[in-house]
Amino acid sequence: MEKVKIRRELLEYLLELARDFYPNEFAGFLREKDGIFEEVLIAPNPHFGRSSAFFDTWMLPYDESIKGTVHSHPGPNPRPSRADLNFFSKFGGVHIIIAYPFVEDSVRAYRSDGSPLRIEIVK
């Protein structure tokens, strides 16, 4: 199985964001450097609700380092919903879902088609 690499510090921050926004979802874009996700960018004027997160992708700056997305699920299911898959198909890249209870074991990564990726946490 193909893998995605993410810095431990970023993963811990994403878990904290998921906990802070609970019971609402949060979403952001992932910046990659040298094949490793290192930063999250929260889009301007987001709407984070209990069953969805919305932001206007037209408001994002042009940034070639954005290679993925991340969002939380306030329930325990880390699998992508139909709405998630629809978004994945439009945005491309890698997509990380953080499910409740927002711990390392509840994080999953997917390709745009919804097929799973292994996550490697790096220093």
Cβ 91 vs Cβ 112: under 8 Å: yes
Find the CATH number of the domain harbouring 40. 3.40.140.10
Give 20-43 pLDDT, tens digit per residue.
989 988 888 899 999 999 999 886
Give pLDDT, residue 49.
Answer: 45
Give pLDDT, residue 5.
Answer: 98
CA 18/CA 40 separation, integer angstroms? 13
Give pLDDT, residue 39.
Answer: 95
Number of domains making up the chain: 1
Tokens describing residue 44: 């301007």
Residue 9: give the domain boundaries. Answer: 3-122
Nearest to 50 by CA among 28, 70, 22: 22
Q: Which residue has the tokens 């209870």?
A: 101
Mean pLDDT by 10 residues, the chain (123 residues): 95 96 89 95 61 58 86 95 85 91 98 96 96
Cβ 95 vs Cβ 112: under 8 Å: yes
Give pLDDT, residue 112.
Answer: 93
